[in-house]
Amino acid sequence: MAVMPQMRLWVAVEPVDFRKGIDGLVAVCRQRLAADPMSGAVFIFGSRNRKSIKLLAYDGQGFWLFQKRLSQGQFSWWPAGRGAAAVRLEAHQMQVLLWNGDPSRAVTAPLWRPLAG
């Protein structure tokens, strides 16, 4: 699965029980996030100890479930909810998160800019 800039990426603010598989995370999407897991969005979940993250995606035929567990330490950044169940990320921010960086501090070129002519 390739991550494209136009994809919708959602990070669940609250940790989930990592014993959950695809069906359990689909239920979390529907119940806690009030989102359609078959919408084409990628949903990112964190474990309670922040050592692991799971990504859930639907590709039109079925679900993909990816997991990354750090060999040392824990993910240093996780979003604060401020009343929201999930926080939106851009594709480049997800890449920073997967490498255990802080997506909120990632400095990148603008996603869109007019061409000088």
Structure tokens at 104: 């909120």
Query: Do residues 44 and 51 touch, judged by C-beta distance below 8 A?
Result: no
List Cα–Cα distances, 21 to 2, 16, 28, 89, 113, in angstroms: 21, 11, 11, 23, 40
Domain boundaries of the chain, sorted by first residue: 9-105
Distances (CA, A) of 54 to 10, 62, 102: 12, 16, 17
What are the tokens at 72?
């040392």
Global pTM exceeds 0.85:
yes
For 59-99, the pLDDT digits (tens) are 999 999 999 999 999 999 999 877 899 999 999 899 999 99
